[in-house]
Structure 1
Amino acid sequence: MPHAALNLLTDVEGLSVGHATDLVLGSGVTVIVFDEPATASGTVLGGAPGGRDTGLLDPSMTVQQVDAFVLSGGSAFGLDAAGGVQSGLRAAGRGFAVGPVRVPIVPQAILMDLLNGGNKDWGLHAPYRDLGYEAYRNAATGAFPLGTIGAGTGATTANFKGGLGSASAVSSTGHTVAALVAVNAMGSVVIGDGPQFWAASFEEKQEFGGLGQPSHVSAEDRAMRIKGLRLTATTIGAVVTDCTLSKAETHRLSLCAHDGLARAVLPTHLPSDGDTMFAASTGKRASNGAADLMELCHLATLVTARAIARGVFEAVALPYPDALPAWRDRWG
């Protein structure tokens, strides 16, 4: 299935994406802002998650729509980022109406990047609320860079620098579905020591090097490669479509996004991962029924896997001594 125009989340009509990046801190924030409230859900399958307002995404909960999603570094400190995004949305008059008050609905997931060599001596208050507001102010449609940016700034994997990745696809009936993922996995995105990616069979137009798969995957290639037993990680992201879906249907879409995660990272969903995937529908195009949902679930798996490989492929190493090398440092 071909990708859409930019092969990015912004191919989906009805949203914008913004980033805030701090290379001294070694961390950052990415925000997905919906033009209008978007029907949304999500799924947490990692054993060590961190999130804000993720409980309301359960299909049985009252609130059906969200104003934005936030992906952030900073571990639990990073949860302040959603407050900065809420501030921007509130100033714009956005939010769930509670009498005369509007409360912006901004679910957030965080990743652990506190041990990557950046300067985390930020004083009394963590900088993430300000970074969240900056990312909100930077939100725009159109092209945006990948790799070491926004929530992917401080991300790492078992063997190479992680990063922010995105990919999109168009269904047979013309619906767009796309993923945006910050890859900070406990496991590895490459087969063995590389250079090929576990997601190679889903690649479109050489978007992560066009290297294909090795002729043989050995037992050594399949051996577990992880950051370490006492470290925590997390791959977090969102998959979004312009097709009109119910909250329950977006929940199913988030589960299929986790299928893409499991096809792109080995191992994944570990006790020390916080793997979280959001899903949303901007509702810009009508659904044709069950067949559309089936295909969108299939495509959600593919775009998530592709986005993860792109995040690592596009990343550059952080500018610190002994920083984890990027994939391109070894394989170019």
Structure 2
Amino acid sequence: MKTQVGARNLITDIAGLRVGNAQDMRLRSGVTVLLADAPFTAGVQVMGGAPGTRETDLLSPDRVVEQVDALVLSGGSAFGLDAASGVADGLRDLGRGFAVGDMRVPIVPGAILFDLLNGGDKDWTDNPYKALGRSALQAASDAFEIGSTGAGAGATTATLKGGLGSASALLPDGSTVGALVAVNALGSATVGEGPEFWAAPFELGQEFGGLGMAPANADPMLAPTKLAQHANTTIGIIATDVTLTQAQCTRLATVAHDGFARALVPSHTLMDGDLIFAAATGTRPAPDLAAQVVLGHAAACVMARAIARAVFSARSLPGDALPAWQARFGGAACAGD
């Protein structure tokens, strides 16, 4: 049996997961939240040099809290960390959270990307991200848009608009792996000046155009960057339905970073805050060692595909600092059609 794309080719092909997006296109920024029907085990790995995070220390394997209620990806740099507060407030209203006596404390780790120099209207007085976080929670569904939405609403790469991407894979053993990523990289997702994606070897079907490999690869040592803008960071979530410990989730997040390196050149730089959360819903049995190796490799491949889908699905808006892939290369198809 070959690896197959899930029914939606979204992280929500993992039963019980939902994703909500909220964005303000005047602001050119937004928030994405992942939650499940019940608390889930999570881990994290940060490999960029400029991260912005909330409650990631709770995800260390030696901490008392082993499960979380939601994970948040947000634009807005440090201001965007407040999005998780809006999600926590909404979860508390729903009676969700870690039980402490008769109180419930929602556990909501989050990470942010820098999109403050993307041309949007940033002349606000009250931080808008808490409200965006609550709105994203309220919008959570098993069906959601990718591209210029949620945490990817104002994202950019070195040469093209970035965006929010997702992908999934059904593995031969019946388990499912899914990725969700907001691509705002210092580097590029495409090769040289052409339309082909660095992630081309991992594409399934024509999910990001079916263009294949670039006919003549540009020198990767001279890949374009947006270093002068200091406006970067790719943040994502890798998820599975198998049963994993916090330590195993941390390892899954670590190997999923290979997907960043396969799809973005360069990645994990000093000016990126590259981070991946891992989530395990635990509806399938725990994998043995061999299955964990397969799971990790699949996680990296699915993450690479999700990154390419984010850029492929971005749409043009008036005042964009960079063109969308579809506008520059004339692609008629949109991911998910």
TM interval, short-chain normalised: over 0.9
* Structure 1 equivalent of residue 116 of structure 2: 114
Letter in 2 for 1:237: G
**One-letter amino acid matched to 1:113:** D
Q: Distance in 2 between matches of 1:10 and 1:252?
A: 21
- In structure 2, the residue matched to 1:86 is 88
Q: Which 4+ residue blocks in structure 1 deviate beyond 6 angstroms?
A: none
- Of all paired residues, the percent bearing the same amino acid is 57
Q: What is the alpha-carbon distance in structure 1 between the residues aligned to residue 113 and residue 317 of structure 2?
A: 16
Q: Look up the match of 2:333.
A: none
* Equivalent residue letter for 1:206: Q
CA distance in 1, matches of 2:48, 2:147: 22
Corresponding residue of 1:323: 321
Alignment partner for residue 33 of structure 2, among 28, 31, 34?
A: 31
> In the TM superposition, what is the alpha-carbon distance from 1:222 to its structure 2 partner?
4.3
TM-score using structure 2 length = 0.95
CA distance in 1, matches of 2:58, 2:316: 36
- Partner in structure 1 of residue 52 of structure 2: 50
Which residue does 1:63 correspond to in 2? 65
For 1:286 and 1:230, the matched residues in 2 are separated by 46
Alpha-carbon distance between aligned partners in 1 of 2:169 and 2:181, rounded to the nearest angstrom: 15
* 1:230–1:162 CA distance, 2 compared to 1 (3 A): closer
| 2:234 counterpart SS class | strand
Which residue of 1 is the match for residue 209 of structure 2?
A: 209
The alignment partner of 1:270 has SS state of coil
Q: Which amino acid aligns with 1:133?
A: R
Unpaired runs of 5+ residues, structure 1, are: none
What residue number does 2:280 align with?
281
Q: Could you tell me how far apart the structure 2 residues matched to 1:215 and 1:193 are?
A: 12
Post-superposition offset of 1:316: 1.1
**Paired residue type of 2:325:** W
Separation of aligned partners in 2, 1:218 and 1:319:
30
Whether 1:266 and 2:268 are equivalent positions in the alignment is no
- Comparing 273-282 with 93-102, greater Cα deviation is found at 93-102
Which residue of structure 2 aligns with residue 137 of structure 1? 138
- The residue type equivalent to 1:330 in the other structure is R
Shift of 1:62: 2.1
TM normalised by structure 1 equals 0.96
Distance 1:325 1:297 in 2: 34
Is the contact made by 2:33 and 2:70 (CA closer than 8 Å) also made in structure 1?
yes
How far the C-alpha of 1:323 sits from its partner, in A, is 2.5
Instruction: Number of aligned residue pairs: give it.
Output: 328
5 Å matches for 1:77-226?
A: 77-123=79-125, 125-141=126-142, 143-219=143-219, 222-226=221-225
The 8 Å contact of residues 48 and 275 in structure 2, kept in 1 or not, is answered as: yes
Kept in 1, the 8 Å contact 2:256–2:299? The answer is yes
Question: Structure 2 stretches of 5 or more lacking a match?
Answer: 331-337
Q: Offset of 1:216 from its aligned partner?
A: 2.6
Deviation at 1:292, TM superposition (A): 2.2
Separation in 2, partners of 1:5, 1:298: 21
Q: Distance in 1 between matches of 2:215 and 2:321?
A: 31
Which SS does the other structure have where 2:227 is aligned?
Answer: coil
